[in-house]
Structure 1
Amino acid sequence: MIEHQAMEIKIPETTMRKDEEEEDEQPLSPAARVFHAPEFNCYVISVIGVKKKIEPDVIMEGLKQTLIRHPRFSSKMVSKRNENGQTQIWVRTNVVVSDHVIVPDIQTQNIENANADKFLESYVSDLTLIPLDTSKPLWELHLLDLKTSDAENVAVLKFHHSLGDGMSLMALVLACMRKTSNPDELPTLPNQNRSSSRSSRLKAGSRGDFRFLWLIMALWSAIMLVLNTMCDALEFIATAMFLKDTETPIKGDFRLSKHKRMSLVHRTVSLDDIKLIKNTMNMTVNDVVLGVTQAGLSQYLETRYGEKKKKLGEDQRNSNHMPKIIRLRSAILDLSDMMAKGSKCRWGNWIGYIVFPFSIGLRKDPLEHLRSAKRIIDRKKNSLEAALTFIVGKLMIKSFGVKMTANIINRALSNTTMSFSNLIGPIEEISFFGHPIAYMAPSVYGHPHALTMHFQSYMNKMTISLTVDPTVISDTHRLLDNWEESLKNIKAAVQERGSIH
């Protein structure tokens, strides 16, 4: 949830230790080893638009003072044989920053903004075909002297997912940045108030004569937590074994998606519009984003099914072209609860999965998409699904090894349709070594989905990043159009409801 209260960036524990206290060699964590498995080789790319011309020398000097002091960004991965066979370790090395910073020669004289946007999309997509050099630390930064429609210049940060999860990496990158208004201060994130309405009711009911009612509600909540967790666990097992999503126009075939060029695009919308809906409907930002995503996917699939019928010469008189029942589920990355234990942000891959079923279909009342999404996510909140998948993943690695675990996770994800994540960002303008930031658009690829949607808030804006397999979804911008149109329709419905009330 994104609220108005502010909190300071917490730098991951490993960044706060002195270099000399770090060991020269450390084994890869089990999750990091899974991310290096051929079946699940994942990378993260973050496109950062800045508001001024990039000065590479300034950026490189800043990296020397910040990023490369972190052990994961100053260590290379080495395979080593021991008594148990082959293992992988992080080995500290001397980092030459210029080897990791790429400044391509771009002839921009005749490139207009629209063409510059296409050039950027093509450039970033090409990076998905190029693996990182394992003889060096697994990251690189591309500085593009390219003026696009929403930024003066662009930086593209690419690193291997084994370095850490999204929350760890976001905390580290933001720790390299400063407030534009005060270069000595770290960015400020919105405070996450994770207390649910259920717990608020329980606290209210615990006063005076309501103690008995509080006990009954607490017992019922505990029973539902156990039942929901058991149901989610059974669904995850079934998904890993046989339960597949409907073969829709956005579902890819993971067996054909290895080493493919992925398309990465983004669009920025108003966070104030999302907050208006949130406040009026008494929801969270995440509820609204999921509801709008459900509406946008429904609209996009209706168009794709209609085009398919037209191409096959089928009857077009039916206004609803989609099948009546569509199973379309998203793997939602839930790592905030695990990262929130204690007061310190822990480094690593602390990832649990929630399988979220989207209710696909056309609705006369666009607000029904919000209500259905909220019902599902509220039920998911009353479950330990994310923690369970995280713990089971660790046990599987110990019991069956990395290769089999990667295969099982790959199979489970491939039986769902897409991935979804929502990260909160700073509430005020920040600078990247003196370069004010216009937007941040993180993406991930290498997992078995033809569609991945990332949402990143920053100041009063929300940036939507899509990673797609272009052989499955060739009209990526239309999907963004449908999402933006759904946001406008839902906002209009919310305003109309407000005026009626």
Structure 2
Amino acid sequence: MVLGRYERLRMSRRMSPGDAVWYLGENRVNPMTISSIMWFDRPIDVELFRERFEQRLLDRHPIMRQRIVPSRLPGLMPRWVDDRAFDLTRHISEDVLPDPGDQAVLQNWCSEERTIPLDRSRPMWHVSVLQGYRGGGSAIHVRIHHSIGDGLAMMALLVTIMDEYDPTTITLHDRSITDVVGGAIATGTQLLSKGAHLARHPSEAVELARDGAEMAEWAGRLLAPQLVERTVLQGQPDGSKRMAWDPDGFPLAEIKRTARANDATINDVLMTVMSGALHRYLEERQALVDDIAMMIPVNLRRPGVPLPRNLGNRIGLLPLRLPVRSEDPRERLHVLQQRMNELKQSPAPLVSRMLIVTTTMFTPVIERGIHRLNQLRSTGVLTNVPGPPLPLHIGGAELLGTIGWGGMTAHLNLSAAFVSVNGSIFSGLVTDAAITPDPELILDHLHAEYASVIERLGAG
């Protein structure tokens, strides 16, 4: 039966503002694409992969079969509409890497794919299964539009296709829930729901009024963050992306010991390492500054709650200034702890989420203005995503490592990421080639800085 436009719209659903902001906010040089790369010790059976993908992802999450239809009326959100021509083979392809199939070849292949925007006429995701990596291995490059879901949602989806997947035993615990969000969600809920109670308890009303004032203050700080000195990591991107990541990883246990020895979190230590790597890169170019401003995604999902059928985004974005002037890791760690503690004790995560949703209600001109304003105050995005702490396989092929990055707004250049799985933490970067054509050099500095941090701050 052929459905008319009215019937198709009636069977569709309106995109939520929290998802639409990622669709409406992308541009030609920075598509809102989340990329995830996994590498394995042997070839992937692509037919088994397609079968699992269909049964465990597509059947559970119908949004993966839907395309986006923009609204014809200003101010209305786009719609999710079933793609009647959906063909799984268009979305999951298989290729053989060119010789010699080494790390450089894989990085170049994935960089070229990351540069190409996803097809807006189809469901906005694609998976490349790449055989011949490092001889007898393989790799998988997943690209999914940010409007479908956030980075933690993507990690949860990828876990479902593994041999070991069991929803009762494998869960994702996001460190940022306990390390960063603190009481922000509770404060916001109180502000929205306590009206009748507060009328009878005016002293509590005063306290919540102070919380509301603090949230308003943070709204101003997030909309107009503190200006920082511009660096060689900022400029005008042209849309050509460069990827670099470490296929071997760092021992998670070593980072945990270093964190405990300094009364710090894993995230504190990783931020210290990244700050030191950027210090080395900038110093090499005689371009040192005091701070580099990065946006830190914070997961606002409640631990243990299954992903909804329509996936979606539940994140906030927090501004964190990385102290890159100092070459002393202990000093950098101390400064980062102070700055992170301020964020932990604030309603910033919830306020950020509210602002992200609210921007979809602005006109495109105002929304672009806000993105550009933040670009003047930020260099990029820095993420830390925890995965399952156990070995994973697809059809017997062992997962050796994984890395992933989100999209970037306006003209931001740098996306840096840490991802942990099976006792290792992997690091990687995406940059725009017009500004930073050599992310592998930052990665080299990150390796050197990691060794320095472990030596100087480790428990011995």
TM-score band (shorter)? Answer: 0.7 to 0.9
Deviations 1:61-88 (CA, angstroms, capped at 9, x unpaired): 2222122221111111223546x68752
1:79 aligns with 2:41: no
For 1:312, the equivalent position in structure 2 comes to none
Moved more, 418-427 or 225-234: 225-234
Q: Decide whether the 8 Å contact of 2:39 with 2:402 is kept in 1.
A: yes
Contact 1:329 1:417 in 2 (8 A): yes
- Confirm or deny that 1:68 pairs with 2:58: yes
Aligned counterpart in structure 2 of residue 282 of structure 1, from 263, 268, 287: 263
Q: CA deviation at 1:362?
A: 2.8
Q: Which amino acid aligns with 1:262?
A: K
Describe the shift of the 1:102–1:186 C-alpha distance in structure 2 as closer, same or farther (beyond 3 A). farther
In structure 2, stretches of 5+ residues that fail to align are: 1-9, 184-203
Deviations 1:318-346 (A, max 9, x none): xxxx35xx342111111x2x211784445
For residue 44 of structure 1, the aligned residue among 28, 31, 34 is 34
Equivalent of 1:35, from 7, 22, 36?
A: 22
Distance 1:355 1:87, change over 3 A: closer
1:126 Cα shift? 0.8
Give, in whole Å, the separation in 1 of the partners of 2:296 and 2:167: 35
* TM-score, L = length of structure 2: 0.82
Counterpart in the other structure of 2:178: 194
Pair 1:452–1:73, CA change in 2 (3 A): same
* Partner in structure 2 of residue 6 of structure 1: none
- Aligned pair partner of 2:356 in 386, 393, 403: 393
User: Cα offset for 1:248?
Assistant: 1.3
Q: Does 1:101 align with 2:84?
A: no
Assess if the C-alpha contact under 8 Å between 1:178 and 1:187 holds in 2.
no
Q: Counterparts of 1:185 and 1:142 in 2: how far apart (Å)?
A: 29
The residue that corresponds to 2:237 in the other structure is 257
In the TM superposition, residue 351 of structure 1 has moved relative to its aligned partner by: 2.2
| Cα displacement string for residues 191-232 of structure 1 (whole angstroms, at most 9, x for unaligned residues) | 758289x99xxxxxxxxxxxxxxxxxx9xx999977865554
Which aligned segments of 4 or more residues in structure 1 are displaced greater than 6 angstroms?
A: 182-185, 221-228
Instruction: Identify which of 479, 493, 497 aligns with 2:456.
Output: 493
Separation (CA, whole Å) in 1 of partners of 2:368 and 2:383: 21
Cα distance per residue 1:90-143 (max 9 Å; x no partner) = 1123532111111124443xx1xxx62111111111112322222321111101
1:54 counterpart = 2:44:
yes
Distance 1:64 1:494 in 2: 47
Q: CA deviation at 1:31?
A: 3.2
- Between the aligned partners of 2:445 and 2:421, the Cα distance in structure 1 is 22
Alignment of 1:136-285 (within 5 A): 136-148=122-134, 152-179=137-164, 187-190=170-173, 192=175, 194=178, 229=215, 232-239=218-225, 243-250=226-233, 252-253=234-235, 256-258=236-238, 260-267=239-246, 268-285=249-266
Instruction: Provide closer, same or farther for how the CA distance between residues 188 and 385 of structure 1 changes in structure 2, counting only shifts above 3 A.
Output: closer
Aligned-partner Cα distance in 2 for 1:454–1:147:
22
* Match for residue 343 of structure 2 among 376, 380, 398: 380
Answer yes or no: is the 8 Å Cα contact 1:291–1:371 preserved in 2.
Answer: no
Q: Which of 453, 461, 486 does residue 424 from structure 2 map onto?
A: 461
Hey, what's the Cα distance between the residues in 1 that align with 2:166 and 2:16? 35
CA distance in 2, matches of 1:224, 1:342: 32
Any idea what SS the aligned residue of 2:95 has?
Answer: coil
Q: How many residues align?
A: 418
Q: With the length of structure 1 as denominator, give the TM-score of the two structures.
A: 0.75
Equivalent pair of 1:177/1:186 in contact (CA under 8 Å): no
Pick aligned residue for 1:358 from 322, 338, 341: 322
Q: 1:131 to 1:360 in 2, by over 3 A?
A: closer
In the other structure, the counterpart of 2:382 is 420
Residues in 1 aligned to 2:359 and 2:92: alpha-carbon distance in whole angstroms? 38
Q: Is the 8 A contact 1:445 1:467 kept in 2?
A: no
Question: Please, which runs of 5 or more residues in structure 1 have no aligned partner?
Answer: 1-22, 200-217, 309-321
Amino acid at match of 1:271: L
Aligned to 2:195: none
Q: Please, what is the CA RMSD of the aligned residues?
A: 3.1
Identity %: 19
**Contact between 2:171 and 2:388, CA under 8 Å: does it hold in 1?**
yes
Amino acid at match of 1:118: A
Contact 1:425–1:456, Cα closer than 8 Å, also in 2? yes
Q: 1:414–1:32: structure 2 CA closer, same or farther, 3 Å change rule?
A: farther
Q: 1:303 to 1:89 in 2, by over 3 A?
A: same
CA drift of 1:52 comes to 1.4
- The structure having more radius of gyration, on CA atoms, is 1
Distance 1:74 1:390, change over 3 A: same
